[in-house]
Amino acid sequence: MLTVSLTFDSPAPEETENYLQVVAPDGTRRPCPELDEWVKDLDVPALEKLYIDMACIRRLDMEGTALQRQGELGLWAPLLGQEASQIGSGRALEHDDFIFPSYREHGVAYCRGIDPHDLLRMWRGAAPSGWNPYEVNMANQQIVIGAQTLHAAGYAMGLKFDGSQAAAIAYFGDGATSQGDVSEAMVFAASYQAPVVFFCQNNHWAISEPVSTQTTGYIADRAAGFGLATWRVDGNDVIAVMAATRAALAHVRTGSGPAFIEAVTYRMGAHTTADDPTRYRDALELEEWAAKDPLDRIAAHLGGLGADLEELKQRTEKATNDMAAGLREAITSMPDPEVEDLFTNVYSHPHPRLDEQRENYANYLSGFAQEAEAAK
């Protein structure tokens, strides 16, 4: 199967319009021969589902931020502005495909049907990880920048050795492409022609460092240099993202080697709830990207297709309210871990050093109780 590999001549990173796009910010459908064939099945009901999905994860993100501000979560990594990148790609995956996320892919987890309890427990500090990866074919969220790309490449190599038709996909941001792990992962994937898609959400900011500090050209060009098939798409266009992801998955499934997608989007919120983006970001930049909002453009597109937007609004409101209620129920019913849980599952078998640490920690904690009793 023939797929598209895009490369461009050393542009300035700020020239973000040089990407594949299906729906413009005003909702106008634009012809895109490279992508149109991959989304011919998207009728009005399918587009409405994508819109509701994006609205749900936007609400999920708002609730996650609010819960952190209320002291219910230790930290939260907002995804505001990146809804189209996550939903468009997440809904293009098959169940057997294995996902290796970074810490921001709450929307991809939503696509995988991960329970709110499992999504929040790690961010609350109530468990060392959220869910069983093999039940949903999605690894737990990775905090170490770029490390998951190596995991994805290795997993994809295993898929090839097993003769599987499944693929692996790794999510990361623009800043991660400056990590050696990402380059090493692409080298191994290309060398072994592994069925893996590297999905870069270029949200323009690696914490406080702009993408212009990360590269003097397009990020997708880096991947092309490793021999990967590349797509550079409008990351705020959910249809374009879905089409590119479907095309990339078809490419890797045929044994044609790994693929790379650069989804050009924007992080509208903070890097995490520990960050203050007003210290390094111009408010005018926010205004520019607010005009490219992924939800507004699909609503406008649906309106142009004759969809009942009022009825869609009502369904969306119910879905987002149900989402929020599920998150609040999860956080209020989530048990705190016991002290003994710190020492559970560290080793597969009993270990004398761990037993010693458990005893020392128990003695340490009991000292507080003794001090409190003596103070009475």
Q: Exactly one of 29, 69, 280, 347 is catalytic; which is it?
A: 280
First to last CA, the chain: 78
> What is the distance between the alpha carbons of residues 261 and 276, in angstroms, rounded to a whole number?
29
Q: At what angle do helices 309-333 and 44-69 cross, to 10 degrees?
A: 40
Q: Exactly one of 271, 297, 347, 349 is catalytic; which is it?
A: 271
**Tokens 């490449």, residue located:** 153
CB within 8 Å of 351: residues ≥ 6 apart: none
Q: How crowded is the C-beta side of 170, counted as CA atoms within 13 Å?
A: 31
Q: Exactly one of 59, 117, 251, 267 is catalytic; which is it?
A: 267
Q: Does the annotation mark 280 as catalytic?
A: yes
Q: Does the annotation mark 271 as catalytic?
A: yes
Catalytic residues: 267, 271, 280
